[in-house]
Chain A
């Protein structure tokens, strides 16, 4: 069965520090992975797709099939990055599975 694991419920860093939000997945096929973000009092929105290999708001995520991971990284955190981050797996049949989320708090 497919599964997404986000081991950290909460990640607390200071402004300017590097950030890495962990995501591990379990899926036997070829995965499509996403990061979604939910800022305070806003709706869930797409942040990154692994297939696009893009950098959004300074965040990047690399799919590591050997380690079945898709960690989200940013070299210098900003206060406005404080939010809930969800990793999501969309397998070939497109039935999505979300992780439980990591709350990122960036202190000034």
Chain B
């Protein structure tokens, strides 16, 4: 069974940093690209970033570029999101998602981890 479990969400002050993790199981992790997507409570989905199978290629939304860094450890079957210079508007539920092997969608998602940026 494919499983993704996010962790690391917390409350942090503006300007602070946080590192999210996503542990996966039930599939060959290094076959797949992975994504982070966030949802402000009561609002819509926002694509944050993605990383290819070996970490050699990444892409970021303009809203987080230069502040967030996505990485992965295939040996540990884990995906990470280092978030620096956090802003109030980064407050959201952060999901990790598995990108399809053949297709442009994300076919498995975790339950999300909540990040709250507040003074």
| Physical interaction between A and B | no
Q: Interface of B with A (CB < 8 Å)?
A: none
